[in-house]
Amino acid sequence: MTTIDVVDLREHSADFLVDPYPFLHELRAGGPVHRVILPEFGETWVVVGYAAAKAALSHPGLTKDWRTATPRWRTWFAGDADAESPSFGKHMLMTDPPDHTRLRKLVAKAFTPQRIAALTSRIEEITDSLLDDFPADGHVDLVDALAFPLPISVICEVFGVDSLDRDKFREWTNKVVNPVGEDISTAARELGDYLNDLVESKRNRPTDDLFGALIGATDDAGGGLSASELRAMAFLLLGAGHETTLTLIANGVFALLSHPDQLAALRADYTLIDNAVEEILRYEGPIKNATWRFAGDPVEIAGVTIPGGGTEVLVALASGSHDPSRYPEPDNFDIRRDAGGHLAFGHGIHFCQGAALARLEGRIALRKLFERFPDIALDILPEKLAWRPGYLMRGFDRLPIRF
């Protein structure tokens, strides 16, 4: 059995937060599988590189069922190692087949390409309205003014949720979606209670929206989603969904403003917008690492055996999308490159089901922003920007711009 040294990333936590790619390149040069110590979590296993990441993301021996994890992880996540489920319930990112297959099929019936395409004009209207409200003094935080309100407005309309406490919801999801080594059980319980009330109100008054479609959806055996599963689905699509799109938009604006030649190329030919969004997802995707996987039994990845017993495993999506064996000169931002096959939305059966909606919102938001404001620029030195801590999300809480 290969001996794997432990890499202590706490020694480089500040630099790793700002620019993780040199460290990921160094890890990848030393092999595809590593034991690391994370500053916010402790020791875990990490898989790096494009081929190894794809293999891990689709490996049947790496489970998503958090109940198979070590007691340490279960206590950290749910506040109780013996709890049957976290406070917001069991959703697709926490299940394996056959449960995962059933849940995904039910969501697919409500989350069709036709439904997504039909949202185009409404997303354009919301974006225009938000841009109209940019302050007259020419200074604004892009996250507060566009990147957050656009996806949360869209997903609330899709779900038929018209009374969401957005500030509180944002506070909860910031803690739960991107935990930073702290006890998140209180935020999870409060969010779970809030979503439970939301689900009950929708079940009592069915409507013609995505929530109504989920409530009415049935599988091949005639079964539907339970109240607990609906609550978990609401968390996944409302919470995690808006966080990902928020970060895609903000990261995209930052990448283009930081590369004026690429922004000029886009403005000269907006047919590049689709490819630009794919390159943003590859170059500075919203998710650094896939959500946790667990090795119930020993699992071999790229010739390295990860021990069983519920061992926690992170798959570094950012490393896979910056692997030079897959993307030449991967640290260069080039909106004309073929960025297809990137890992920003994962891979395998847990590939993000909201990817089409996120891409649509990203295309519309970026094009309209740069068309409306030809002199837009960062209103802060790049080195002064604070990257969000945590093992999951890669982005900003605020992005000051001027126009």
Residue 317 above 90 pLDDT? yes
The amino acid sitting at 105 is: K
- Residue 349 and residue 57: Cα distance in Å, rounded? 8
| CA 190 to each of CA 136, 137, 169, 344: distance values in angstroms, whole numbers, following the listed order | 38, 38, 10, 29
Question: Which segments of 48-104 are extended strands (E)?
Answer: 62-63
Tell me the pLDDT tens digit for each residue of 197-219.
Answer: 888 888 888 777 777 777 877 66
pLDDT at residue 74 is higher than 80? no
What is the reported pLDDT for 345? 95
Nearest to 352 by CA among 57, 74, 133: 57
Highest mean pLDDT among 10-14, 81-85, 123-127: 123-127
What is the pLDDT, as a whole number, of residue 84? 56
pLDDT of residue 194: 81
Q: What pLDDT is stored for residue 110 in this prediction?
A: 65
Site of tokens 């999870």:
188
- 241 pLDDT higher than 90: no
Residue 82 pLDDT exceeds 70: no
Name the pTM for this structure: 0.91
Question: Cα–Cα distance between 303 and 32 in angstroms, integer?
Answer: 9
User: Of 287, 173, 195, whose CA–CA distance to 239 is shortest?
Assistant: 173
Is the per-residue pLDDT at 181 higher than 60? Answer: no
C-alpha span between 58 and 375 (Å, rounded): 44
The total number of residues shown for the chain amounts to 403
Task: Say yes or no to pLDDT of 276 above 60.
Answer: yes
Element (H, E) at 6: strand 6-8
Q: What is the DSSP letter of 68?
A: G
CA distances 240 to 38, 143, 173, 174, 231, Å, are 22, 16, 7, 9, 13
Report how far residue 295's alpha carbon sits from residue 126's, in angstroms, rounded to the nearest whole number. Answer: 44
> Which residue stretches of 83-209 are H helix?
99-110, 113-117, 120-132, 142, 149-159, 166-177, 185-204
Full DSSP string of 38-51: ETTTEEEEEE-SHH
Considering 27-31, 168-172, 225-229, 270-274, the range whose residues carry the highest mean pLDDT is 270-274
DSSP state of 236: I
pLDDT higher than threshold 80 for residue 222:
no
Q: How confident is the model at residue 185 (pLDDT cuts 50, 70, 90)?
A: low
Top-confidence residue, 73 or 307: 307
Q: What angle do CA 226, 227, 233 make, to 5 degrees?
A: 85
Q: In terms of pLDDT, which residue wins out, 238 or 362? A: 362
Averaged confidence pLDDT in the chain = 87
Provide mean pLDDT across the span 32-54.
91
Examine the pLDDT at 394 and tell me if it is beyond 70: yes
Residue 385 confidence (pLDDT) above 80: yes
- pLDDT tens, position by position, 160-180: 777 677 777 777 777 777 666
| 282 pLDDT above the threshold of 80 | yes
Nearest to 280 by CA among 328, 206, 339, 222: 339
Q: Calculate Rg over the CA atoms of the chain.
A: 21
Top pLDDT among 10 and 283 is at 283
- pLDDT score for 81: 52
- pLDDT, residue 1, reads 44
Residues 232-258, mean pLDDT to the nearest whole number = 89
Among the listed residues 131, 375, 369, 399, the one whose alpha carbon sits nearest the alpha carbon of residue 254? 399
Taking the CA atoms of 178, 210, 164 and 398 in sequence, report the sign of the dihedral they define: positive
pLDDT of residue 314: 95
Token readout for 193 is 């209670």
Q: Which CATH number fits domain 6-402: 1.10.630.10, 3.30.420.40, 1.10.260.40, 3.40.50.300?
A: 1.10.630.10
pLDDT at 77: 59
Q: How far apart are CA 324 and CA 182, in angstroms?
A: 35
Q: What are phi and psi of 95, to 5 degrees?
A: -135, 160
For position 237, what pLDDT does the model report? 79
Q: For residues 242 and 173, what is the distance between their CA atoms, to the nearest angstrom?
A: 9
